[in-house]
Amino acid sequence: MRGFWPTICSAALIGSIGCADGSHGGDPDGGVTPITDTGVPDAAQRVDRGLDAGQEGPGPLAPRVENTTCHLPPAPPLGALRVTPAWPNIVMQRPLWFGTAPGQDDLRYVVEQAGRILVFEAENPPAAEVFLQVGVSRNNNEEGLLGLAFHPDYAENGRFFVYFSASNPRRSIIAEMRRDPNNPRRADAASQRILLEVDQPFGNHNGGDLRFGPDGYLYITLGDGGSGGDPYGNGQQPDTLLGSILRIDVDRQDAACGLPYGIPADNPFAAERCQPGREPAGAPEVWAWGLRNV
CATH number reported for the structural domain that contains residue 109 in this entry: 2.120.10.30
Assigned domain for 74 exists: no
Could you list the residue range(s) of the whole structural domain that residue 124 is in? Answer: 95-289
Assigned domain for 24 exists: no
DSSP bridge partners of 288: 245
Alpha-carbon distance values, 235 to 88, 142, 186, 230, 256 (Å): 42, 18, 38, 9, 28
Assigned domain for 239 exists: yes
DSSP bridge partners of 95: 112
Classify strands 171-179 and 187-199 as parallel, antiparallel or unpaired: antiparallel
Q: Given this model, what pLDDT does residue 110 score?
A: 98
Q: Given this model, what pLDDT does residue 292 score?
A: 86
Residue-level length of the chain: 294
Q: Given this model, what pLDDT does residue 58 score?
A: 58
Alpha-carbon distance values, 178 to 106, 155, 192 (Å): 19, 11, 8
Assigned domain for 169 exists: yes
Q: Given this model, what pLDDT does residue 72 score?
A: 86
Assigned domain for 175 exists: yes
Assigned domain for 51 exists: no
**Rounded to 5 degrees, what are φ and ψ at 104?**
-130, 60
Coil, strand or helix at 181: coil
This prediction has a pTM of 0.71
Total structural domains in the chain?
Answer: 1
Q: Over its length of 294 residues, how does the chain's per-residue pLDDT go in tens digits?
A: 434 333 333 434 334 344 444 444 444 444 444 444 444 444 444 444 444 555 555 567 778 888 888 888 888 888 888 889 999 999 999 999 999 999 999 999 999 999 999 999 999 999 999 999 998 876 778 899 999 999 999 999 999 999 999 988 989 999 999 999 999 999 999 999 999 999 888 888 888 899 999 999 999 999 888 888 888 788 888 888 999 999 999 999 998 888 999 999 999 999 877 766 556 788 999 999 988 887
Q: Given this model, what pLDDT does residue 175 score?
A: 97
Assigned domain for 227 exists: yes
